[in-house]
Amino acid sequence: MEVKVLFFASCRDLVGTPEASISLPDRARVTDLLARLAEEHPRLREMEASLMVSVNQAYVDRSRRLGDGDEVAFIPPVSGGGPAGCVENAEPEEKRPYVR
């Protein structure tokens, strides 16, 4: 199957193109696509935990199965960012969950 992949901001800079067409085995998941892209662009693995992923313009979990013709977008944090969780190094009363 073929999926269209869109790369935004720092992802686009890292990969060197705003979009690509990628062939994947049937029943592949977003995690399979990420693994494939990380083989070609190892620095993508470093930012993987901070990326938001959408399929057909809806945010999805990385376990989402892909279908032929799907559009997958990798969206890095707008400013800074890190893995989902609480603000690190904050006083206990200031620790709040991130909001997406």
Angle (CA) 46 65 79, round 5°: 35
Give the pLDDT confidence of 24-79 residue by residue, as tens digits.
Answer: 999 999 999 999 999 999 988 888 888 999 999 999 999 999 999 999 999 988 76
pTM assigned to the model:
0.76
